[in-house]
Amino acid sequence: MNRRVKFLSLFFVLGLLIASQHVSAQTDTHLSWQNHHKGTLNIHATPLLYELIEKKRLYDSFNAGYQGYRVQIFFESGNESKQNAYKAADKFMQLFPGIPAFISFKEPNYRIRVGNFREKLDADRLLSEVMRDFSSSFVIKEFISIFDEPYSSEMNPNGLYSNDTLSVIRDINIGTDSARYEF
């Protein structure tokens, strides 16, 4: 029994040595970063890692944004819902300047979502402040796009929109490529 354990241990150690040789043969990419105060960071990685990073960057350039949180402060349908949505947005902008508000229409409902938060805790903090004036508010998880156009009172000088859609044209520069998008 004792000889058998020794043989299996030796076999296991040899297997680890062979596996480490295989891994070190693939790590032909070396990055080094040096900070004179804190030392040097050396990264040894396979080319596959850098290929994955480039694929992720490409994916992110097409999906410009991130998964985050907003606080929904208004949701209504009916004959007066459009006017009520803009009134609520104006009230929010007066009470909480600097926090973006987004009005959207998904038939037959108007809704207002506010904020751009990466962490739910930050959205919860805003929710606790907003609940005093907008009692039906709640936190919602959604994709936060860099193309979302926040509401401003200048967009609605007469208190009403003449139509339900807003066309926004932006020039987007990603790396060396540029494009024009219309929403």
Domains of the chain, by residue range, sit at 65-182
Q: Is the dihedral of CA 6, 8, 14, 20 positive or negative?
A: negative
65-182 has CATH 3.20.20.105 classification: no
- Per-position pLDDT tens, the chain of length 183: 566 666 556 556 556 555 555 444 444 565 666 666 677 777 777 788 778 888 877 776 677 788 999 999 999 998 899 999 999 999 999 999 989 999 999 889 999 999 999 999 999 999 999 999 999 999 999 988 877 778 876 655 444 443 344 334 344 444 444 444 444
DSSP annotation of 153: G
End-to-end Cα, the chain, rounded Å = 74
Write down the pTM of the prediction. Answer: 0.54
* DSSP alpha helix (H) spans, the chain: 2-26, 47-62, 81-95, 120-130
Identify the pLDDT of residue 54: 82
